[in-house]
Amino acid sequence: MAVINTNDADFKNELSQHPLVAIKYFADWCGSCKLIAPKYRRLSEDARFANIRFLEVDAEVNEEVRKSAQVDNLPYFAIFKDGVFVGGAATSKEEKIVELLGKLS
């Protein structure tokens, strides 16, 4: 599955249509965000996580989505189950993202 770019306008719709959602929060100026992007994309194609909808959000311009997961640093990854925030982490480590995704399985 591909990583879908979303925004404040589409966020609630994405959560209502998909029971398991992972979100990567980024900013254009964030070097670590750019470095983790290929790993996040690869995880979105991993069979272990086939039932999870992978989204990414520009945290600089989407305040509603950013607040929904209490984003405090970038890159930040959050998981939602049935529209409810389950947890998140500011990290650049693939292992930490995998651990977070495991909470949705």
33 is catalytic: yes
Nearest CA-CA partner of 59 in 23, 15, 95: 23
Cα angle 64, 31, 27 (rounded to 5 degrees) comes to 15
Kindly name the residue from 3, 33, 69, 97 that is annotated as catalytic.
33
Kindly name the residue from 23, 30, 55, 65 that is annotated as catalytic.
30
Whether 104 contacts 79, CB under 8 Å = yes
105 is catalytic: no
DSSP state of 27: -
Residues involved in catalysis:
30, 33
